Amino acid sequence: MRVPQVTRRIDGTDLVELCLVAAVATVLVIRIVLELSGYPQLGGGGLHIAHVLYGGLMMLAALFLVFLLLDTPVRWFAAFVGGVGFGFFIDEVGKFISNDVNYFFEPAVAVMYVVFVVLFLILIAVRRRLRTLTPRESLANALAALAASRRSALDDESRRNLTDLLDRADPADPLVEVLRAHVRDAPAAPPGRRWGYGRMRDRLAAAYRRVVFSRRFGIVIATIAVLYFLSKLPVTLTVQTDESGVTVQEDSDDLAHLVQFLASLASAAFTLVGLVLLRRSRLSAYRWFLRAVLVSLLISQVFVFYYDQFAALGGLVVDLLIYGALRYMIGREEAEAVAGRGLAGPPPPVGETAEARLAEG
């Protein structure tokens, strides 16, 4: 039996990552809001409308968006909505694994943790396989990007990304040259007629280009990274012992603290690696910082929340802000790398840094 070929999306793992982050954030926010509001119930007269139902509807809505619409921004919105829906769903897992349908069933936190970690490990494995697309996949992604385009006019960044994908496709395929000519001859998108998000994105990109090479920018990034590194150390030390330095928790608490200890240690180590790499390659450093934040979001914050909900809320806000900033900066570095080597340059070798690519341009 012949196994059917599948085509990987170039931004597929980023969409999955956003979905997971939205799910974790949703679980933590739900628990905090319920604690502050006294755990109200929606319903009456023998009815209780559990929020797992909202989660199912959100996941269904995300599927409908992907099924019905081609636009790339819709996929990102669907990933976010689907992640929020999954968070609503898995937050009530305690009801489905306990005999008394107990929302507060303590092992439920561990179940959620295991689910998120397994999904995160799968994401890492898939991302490694997506580092290089095959020529056929590069062509398919270029076609998908053109199909998702709102109009025939292209902005500079879309034109560069499409050209980069076509450079990686098989030049012997007649469709490649046709698409290359279409991308080359497509009119430029009028700056004044772009929608609000597009104009905001251009302004942010221009601001990033202005400050990224300044010495002060590097100092600010390094300072934030050092503070983040130091913020992981107190968690590592304080959750393990009492004031006399003797561990007093029960076995289940000891296991939770051990996992949190290892997660905090990993997050601190990833941050340290990013600091070491910052002077040599911003892109590599940002990716290591992102790994540190994801470990904190998907593992550490779950256990911080279990013991102190308000501490988890503060850490969640910080991690989400840093995650969003890092995601944007990584995207800008990758876009500038493509722009720096020109529209017709050869595809860069795997693992080449953004600075090296920009220097070649």
pLDDT for res 262: 84
pLDDT for res 360: 37
State how far the Cα of 145 lies from the Cα of 11, in Å rounded to an integer. 11
In a domain, 297, yes or no: yes
Question: 97, 129, 161 — which closes off a domain?
Answer: 129
In a domain, 306, yes or no: yes
Asked if 83 and 26 touch (Cβ cutoff 8 Å), the reply is yes
* Token pair for 43: 């319903």
pLDDT for res 2: 58
Whether residue 122 is found in the same domain as residue 219? no
Residue 73: CB atoms within 10 A of its CB come to 11
pLDDT for res 199: 62
In a domain, 118, yes or no: yes
Residue ranges in the chain modelled with pLDDT below 50: 192-195, 197, 235-242, 245-252, 341-361
State how far the Cα of 148 lies from the Cα of 257, in Å rounded to an integer. 47
In a domain, 173, yes or no: no
Whether residue 109 is found in the same domain as residue 221? no
Whether residue 116 is found in the same domain as residue 228? no
State how far the Cα of 68 lies from the Cα of 101, in Å rounded to an integer. 37
pTM over the 0.95 mark: no
Average pLDDT of every residue of the chain? 76
In a domain, 205, yes or no: no
Whether residue 219 is found in the same domain as residue 124? no
State how far the Cα of 238 lies from the Cα of 247, in Å rounded to an integer. 10
Q: How many domains does the chain have?
A: 2
Cα separation values, 209 from 17, 284, 336, Å: 26, 18, 9
Whether residue 225 is found in the same domain as residue 332? yes
Question: 60, 95, 129 — which closes off a domain?
Answer: 129
pLDDT for res 250: 46
Provide the domain limits for residue 325.
215-337
Question: 79, 108, 129 — which closes off a domain?
Answer: 129
The string of DSSP codes covering 257-296 is HHHHHHHHHHHHHHHHHHHHHTTT-HHHHHHHHHHHHHHI
In a domain, 267, yes or no: yes
Where do we find the tokens 């900033």?
325
